[in-house]
Structure 1
Amino acid sequence: MPEPRHGRRAALSLLAAGTALAALPRGSAQARPLEQVLSTKKLRVGINPTLPPFGVFNDRNQIDGFDADIARELARLLKAELEIVQVGSPDRVPFVQSDRVDLVMGSITRTVDRALVIDFTMPLHSQSMVVLAREGTAVPLSKPADLNNKDVKLVQVRGTTGIPWIQANAPQAQVTLLDNYPDVFRALAQGRADALVDVYESVAIPMKNQPNVRWRVLDEVLATMWTGIGVQKGNSTLRDAVNVALFDMHSRGFVNAAWEKWFGGPMRTPVPLNPMF
């Protein structure tokens, strides 16, 4: 007997739903659009507290810092209560993909690879990638090209932007990957590694927290990059609202004031005020 028309439609609907689900990244979950953020009056933001001064634990053991100030202002503008979720550098993309957070921060640089799996807002701040080295290393390090040596020991945080640069420019170096910045700086301070390739804004404060180590930042800037706020792929309603809020915060100087509060000075490369986002 011919299949009833409504049965065929139902079968096609189920097939389409299955195809859409199969297309989602493994471990992903449907993002909460702006409407749901507004209806629940809750904004969940991932912040890395081991990356001072972007994220720190304050005296009350609460997550604070530059990112927390930005997140609080975003939540106020979106008329929502802020829920800060602790993330590490390797967790940033998976947490926003799996809907454990609505937005993710933690100095997440806009890269092509990341843009394939998550969406980004307009720039929040700039970054300058540099080489941070200890004085007195076995191999003299005076320029970035010196890192490409089998006797050079580099230490990096997993999932950070320095790793692709090393793979492309210093493939002969020995590389140890650790989970967080405190462990990385401990390894450097103890002489278990010679240098770190990372953005200056991420290493400036941890470097000062190790006063017994003679640090040297090589003069050459490897790249200037832009950091946005990560949103789940396709969640355009939330991304668009956050873009408008960020433009407002840049326009009235809120972002720069928060930066100077936590970094003690202005951004090296200010974010251009551009309404086309």
Structure 2
Amino acid sequence: MLKKILLGLLTFFAINSLYAEDINLWKKSTLNKILDKGVLKVGLEPGYMPFEMKDRKGRIIGYDVDIAKAMAKAMGVKLEIVPTAFDGIIAGLLTGKFDIIIAGMTITQQRNLKINFSDPYLVVGQTVLLNKEFEQKIKSAKDLDDKKYVITAKLGQTGEIVAKKFFKNAKINTFDTEAEAVAEVLNGKATAFINDQPYNAIFADDKGKGKLVHLDKPLTYEPLAFAIRKGDPDFLNWLNNFLRQIKEDKVVNLHEILYQKWFVDTKWLDKLQ
């Protein structure tokens, strides 16, 4: 009889201990803190079309901004955008300046050592914008790997990593913004610019029309995802369920609506600075 009582007590304490541990994990979760504060803080860098950029009135708009708005609405909280330079955005997340990165960030093994990623919300690849002068000489990206060519990319983005990985012989110049990097190609100071496919496709049809050639075969497979701090399974679970909902809902498919708005219909270009 005593053994049964002792066993029952041990089981009771074990269950209570696990319950207390779960409660503590929930209290530490970023999701719980967001709900308590009533604010979702999102880190991103304006200037990456069509994911995040400023309109003529200085407002930050874009695909990622609309995703963030939908996320905050689903949580029942306010949204606060925290503009942050991309090369310092992971440090900003780790030091608690914001709750999540929604900035067209590619999942890489190196980044994954420091932070956790949700399931991908979009898949893109790096492509090449080529100065039209070289249209006859360069038929594919591999032709760029020559010491006589200059390739530009944005500092800290995947384009820089890809440029250095695939083009060992060409000269690689990096810049703080996409605009500066692609301007070098437009002005004839560089041969080509490496960046994400959506950005390059939109730029080629807008400011680069008649001046640049888009070599649109992707060099890489790049899943874009939300980034959060490590050790937060509750927040990660919520984010992945949020993604499934906006992608699979048959009545209002938000994922498809936003894709059409920002990647197919380019009326938003008229709103930019």
Amino acid at match of 1:56: M
RMSD: 2.0
1:151 equivalent among 135, 148, 151? 148
The alignment partner of 1:101 has SS state of coil
**Size of the alignment, in residue pairs?**
235
C-alpha change, 1:32 and 1:134, in structure 2 (3 Å) is farther
The alignment partner of 1:250 has SS state of helix
The alignment partner of 2:193 has SS state of strand
Deviations 1:179-236 (A, max 9, x none): 1111112221111111112221122223333246522122532122210011112232
C-alpha change, 1:258 and 1:106, in structure 2 (3 Å) is same
In the alignment, the residues of structure 1 paired with residue 76 and residue 239 of structure 2 have an alpha-carbon distance, to the nearest angstrom, of 12
Spell out the pairing of 1:194-233 with structure 2 (5 A cutoff).
194-211=191-208, 213-233=210-230
In the alignment, the residues of structure 2 paired with residue 42 and residue 122 of structure 1 have an alpha-carbon distance, to the nearest angstrom, of 23
Q: Does the Cα contact within 8 Å between 1:46 and 1:101 map onto a contact in 2?
A: yes
C-alpha change, 1:212 and 1:243, in structure 2 (3 Å) is closer
- The yes-or-no answer on 1:263 pairing with 2:263 is yes
- The yes-or-no answer on 1:66 pairing with 2:63 is yes
Q: Does the Cα contact within 8 Å between 2:164 and 2:172 map onto a contact in 1?
A: no
In the alignment, the residues of structure 1 paired with residue 119 and residue 38 of structure 2 have an alpha-carbon distance, to the nearest angstrom, of 23
Q: Does the Cα contact within 8 Å between 2:175 and 2:181 map onto a contact in 1?
A: yes
Aligned to 2:109: 112
Aligned to 2:88: 91
C-alpha change, 1:46 and 1:154, in structure 2 (3 Å) is same
The normalised TM-score by structure 2 is 0.80
Q: Does the Cα contact within 8 Å between 2:153 and 2:163 map onto a contact in 1?
A: no
Aligned to 1:124: 121
Q: CA deviation at 1:139?
A: 9.2
The normalised TM-score by structure 1 is 0.79
Q: Does the Cα contact within 8 Å between 1:185 and 1:207 map onto a contact in 2?
A: no
Which structure's residues are more often helix, by fraction?
A: 2
In the alignment, the residues of structure 1 paired with residue 136 and residue 167 of structure 2 have an alpha-carbon distance, to the nearest angstrom, of 14
Amino acid at match of 1:88: A
Q: CA deviation at 1:142?
A: 1.4
Amino acid at match of 2:52: G
Aligned to 2:172: 175
Gaps of 5+ in 1: 1-30, 266-277
Spell out the pairing of 1:176-191 with structure 2 (5 A cutoff).
176-191=173-188
Aligned to 1:192: 189
The alignment partner of 1:146 has SS state of helix
Identity, % of aligned positions: 22
In the alignment, the residues of structure 2 paired with residue 68 and residue 183 of structure 1 have an alpha-carbon distance, to the nearest angstrom, of 23
Aligned to 1:250: 247
Q: CA deviation at 1:68?
A: 0.7
Q: Does the Cα contact within 8 Å between 2:62 and 2:262 map onto a contact in 1?
A: yes
Amino acid at match of 1:257: I
The alignment partner of 1:241 has SS state of helix
Q: Does the Cα contact within 8 Å between 1:88 and 1:180 map onto a contact in 2?
A: no
Q: Does the Cα contact within 8 Å between 2:116 and 2:229 map onto a contact in 1?
A: yes
Amino acid at match of 2:262: W
Q: CA deviation at 1:166?
A: 2.4
In the alignment, the residues of structure 1 paired with residue 77 and residue 185 of structure 2 have an alpha-carbon distance, to the nearest angstrom, of 41
In the alignment, the residues of structure 2 paired with residue 197 and residue 66 of structure 1 have an alpha-carbon distance, to the nearest angstrom, of 21
Amino acid at match of 1:86: P
Q: CA deviation at 1:243?
A: 1.4
1:238 equivalent among 235, 240, 249? 235
The alignment partner of 2:221 has SS state of strand
C-alpha change, 1:251 and 1:187, in structure 2 (3 Å) is same
Q: Does the Cα contact within 8 Å between 2:29 and 2:234 map onto a contact in 1?
A: no
